[in-house]
Amino acid sequence: MKKIALPVALFAVLAATTPAFADGGLPKIASLQVGSHTVSIHGDSPSLHTGTNTFTVEIPALSSAHSVSLRLTGPSGQTVSVPLKDLVVVSGPEDHSSMADMPGMAGMDHGTAGGDGAHSHDEGSFDARGKAVINTPGTWTIAVDITGHGGTQSAQTSVDVVRGGPSRLYLGFTGLLIGGSITYGVAQRRRQNNGR
């Protein structure tokens, strides 16, 4: 019983410190209202960091007649455009593509990235993904433009970018695990020495 107490305690600590991953989805880093559209921007980690960041943009009920662009403006005025590629779900009931039956084709991206932004892949929603390198920590502005027949609508919000490097959560968990293992080993050795 005592042998599993430490791993269980460590798992409980890890679970309590990572609420962003509790629902199984990507952490949301920003939400914007662009006209009548709610735009959710997700990242692969709970906060943006210096270095390469991956962004996933979700816009429900956006028709294929629209295009979307995403850009970031840094604290010194530098601008970083995020090239977006459509995410295609090939396993849904509305999929008519024969690519779904081909090995390794499920979940592949398609579409073009460029100045015009990515286009939605169906009439129900827009899902796109892109990577960008952020080289300066501080407060950045995320701007989303949605262009359609009625012109372009835009919105922006501020996000904090932290200095990149190993995750503090990872370092804390690793330190806790190593410290726990050392403490457990010392306790076991003392117990064995006292039993002699």
- Hey, what domains does the chain have and what are their CATH numbers? 25-165 (2.60.40.1930)
pLDDT at 148 (0 to 100): 92
What is 68-101 written as a DSSP string? EEEEEE-TTS-EEEE--EEE---SSTT---GGGG
The torsion of the CA quartet 26, 115, 142, 34, rounded to 10 degrees, works out to -90
Distance between CA 73 and CA 92 in Å, rounded? 36
pLDDT at 83 (0 to 100): 97
Q: Quick one: what percent of the chain has pLDDT higher than 70?
A: 65
pTM of the full structure: 0.59
Compute how many other C-beta atoms are within 10 angstroms of the C-beta atom of residue 56. Answer: 19
Helix H or strand E segment including 190: helix 168-195
- Residue with more model confidence, 63 or 170: 63
Torsion region of 134: left, alpha or beta (phi above 0 gives left; psi -120 to 50 gives alpha):
beta
Weakest-pLDDT range from 98-102, 154-158, 163-167: 98-102
**142-152: average pLDDT:** 94
Residue 98 has pLDDT above 50, yes or no: no
pLDDT at 133 (0 to 100): 95
Residue 17 has pLDDT above 70, yes or no: no
Half-sphere exposure of 106 (CA within 13 A, CB side): 4
Structure confidence by residue, pLDDT tens digits, 52-88 = 999 999 999 898 889 999 999 999 999 999 999 998 7
Distance between CA 103 and CA 18 in Å, rounded? 34
Half-sphere exposure of 135 (CA within 13 A, CB side): 5
